[in-house]
Amino acid sequence: MDERFPNASPSSSSTSDRAASENDATSLRKQGHASSSSSTQPSLNDLDGWIAHLKDKNQHLPESAVEALCAHAKDVLHQEPNCATIRCPVTVAGDVHGQYHDLLEMFRMGGSPPDTNYLFLGDYVDRGYFSVECFSLLLCFKIRYPQRVTILRGNHESRQITQVYGFYDECLRKYNGSPRVWKLFTSLFDALPLVALIEEKIFAQHGGLSPQISTIDEIQTSIHRFQEVPHEGAMCDLLWSDPDDRVGWGMSPRGAGHTFGEDVSRKWNHTNGLYLIARAHQLVMEGFNWSHNKEVVTIFSAPNYCYRCGNQAAIMEVSSTILTPPPDATSSAGGGGAANASGAGSAVKVDGESKSGEGAEEDGESGEAKGPHWASFLQFDPAPRRGQMTGSLFHFGDKTPDYFL
């Protein structure tokens, strides 16, 4: 299911005959027009109204609201560095890919902003049917609670990729054949931060490492991120690369980015004083997967990916105990307890296994690594079907869209 970088620029898709209905409240339209036509930012009431509209009415925002939201979001994101600084506790989420009902299920299981501090690792759009709703909601949360929500750029937050894998077509269907909302969102993608650093111990990103980058400081100073994702170079690598069972660097079969071995991950973590690389970008069947002798963890947060893969999803919860020494070797592991029920539905919380050494805890009897005392994973299955989204759903019949294949 891993996508490849398109070999050539795609042609624009034709407009669907069925224009998505826009059954939005008159007050919502007025809020959007007022915000976009004035120099003032959207009010808290505007943002709360848009969040409620998305969550409760299950409808996409009107174009005027999207315009106002993107205008203010761009101002906020332009103030953020290439590498965002994250404090604990924080919940880290991987790919979402337009699976809006599952995003709401994630918030139901893991908590919703501002009660839970979130870091999202990119790929909010494409593949799923509700990319517009997913990114709109995350953007509303980011602007409403800027210190509690961080959204990074993934390789799908790109003009070229979204024309191939579904987001462009979805915007046309939901906004009466106009590409304007797609242009607003893709322009905003250019402002998203590239990576994040959690308590100076966890390096978080969408894709992987780059042979052109040796330190986190170089990401801050040497990359101009306010552009379309380039086909090569350090910025491309951060969004496209993957860990691999190899030594050193290799060319990625995706056609963009690199593959890198355990020796590369270990050197990066040692050089930058890190415990861990946390990334997304690849489907993993249990929602999270350790690699490179637990120097790297991959997190994937879209359950039953593309509505057919049968995988679980997961989010990683990092506690404030990352700032403290590991507990006594004879005490129980932190992070929530192995296989503890999360409270409802199909979510299960498990301790994250980790390498022995700094930041990891050993079992008092066997000496085996039980996992860091500061991390646990909340696994969840697809959201229960509670009815379809009105005004946003478009129908494909029994045919799987080409961009799922």
Residues annotated as part of the active site? 156
Nearest alpha-carbon partner for 129 in 357, 302, 381: 302
- The span from the CA of 330 to the CA of 290, in Å, is 25
**Which letter does DSSP use for residue 167 in this model?**
H
Cβ(94)–Cβ(301) below 8 Å: yes
**Encoding tokens for residue 168?**
């462009």
Q: Is 157 exposed, middle or buried (0-12, 13-18, 19+ CB in 10 A)?
A: buried
- What are phi and psi for residue 195, nearest 5 degrees? -145, 175
The per-residue b/e assignment along 356-379, b for 16 or more CB within 10 angstroms, e otherwise, is eeebbbeeeeeeebbbbbbbbbbb
How many other CB atoms are found less than 10 A from the CB of residue 270? Answer: 10
Cβ(296)–Cβ(90) below 8 Å: no
Q: What is the DSSP annotation of 56-83?
A: HS--PPPHHHHHHHHHHHHHHHTTS-SE
Cis, bond preceding 179 (omega within 30 deg of 0): no
* Residues near 402 by beta carbon (within 8 Å), at least 6 away in sequence: none
User: Which contiguous run of DSSP H or E holds residue 195?
Assistant: strand 195-198
Cβ(160)–Cβ(123) below 8 Å: no
Query: Which residues pair with residue 93 across a beta bridge?
Result: 120, 315
- The span from the CA of 318 to the CA of 351, in Å, is 11
β 313-318/375-380 pair status: antiparallel
**Encoding tokens for residue 19?**
């224009």
- The span from the CA of 90 to the CA of 382, in Å, is 22
